[in-house]
Amino acid sequence: MKADARFPGVRPALRGVICQHGGAGGELPVLPAAATVTAWRTRSAAALGTQVSARPAVGASSA
């Protein structure tokens, strides 16, 4: 679950956490800041996009 709250006049104005509960007992082993997870996702998406767009076209010769 992701919970965000907006605080106008404070930087960063949007703060939140991501609650990742365990499946068996419902424990809460991880409670990262939402901004951290968003940064990870953005970096991963950029890296994947760069990798995919750098692949040679299908059927292109390597010479």
pLDDT at 57: 67
**pLDDT, tens digit, for every residue of 8-46?**
998 888 889 888 888 788 888 888 888 888 889 999 999
- Residue 13 structure tokens: 């104005």
Q: 14-42: string of b/e by CB count within 10 Å (b at 16+)? A: eebbbeeeeeeeeeeeeeeebeebeeeee
Q: What are phi and psi of 18, to 5 degrees?
A: -115, 120
Residue 59, pLDDT > 70, answer no
- Rounded distance between C-alpha atoms, residue 10 and residue 18, angstroms: 20
pLDDT at 50: 92
Residue 63, pLDDT > 60, answer no
SS3 20: strand
Q: How far is CA 45 from CA 19, 34, 35, in A?
A: 22, 16, 15
Q: What global pTM score does this model have?
A: 0.56
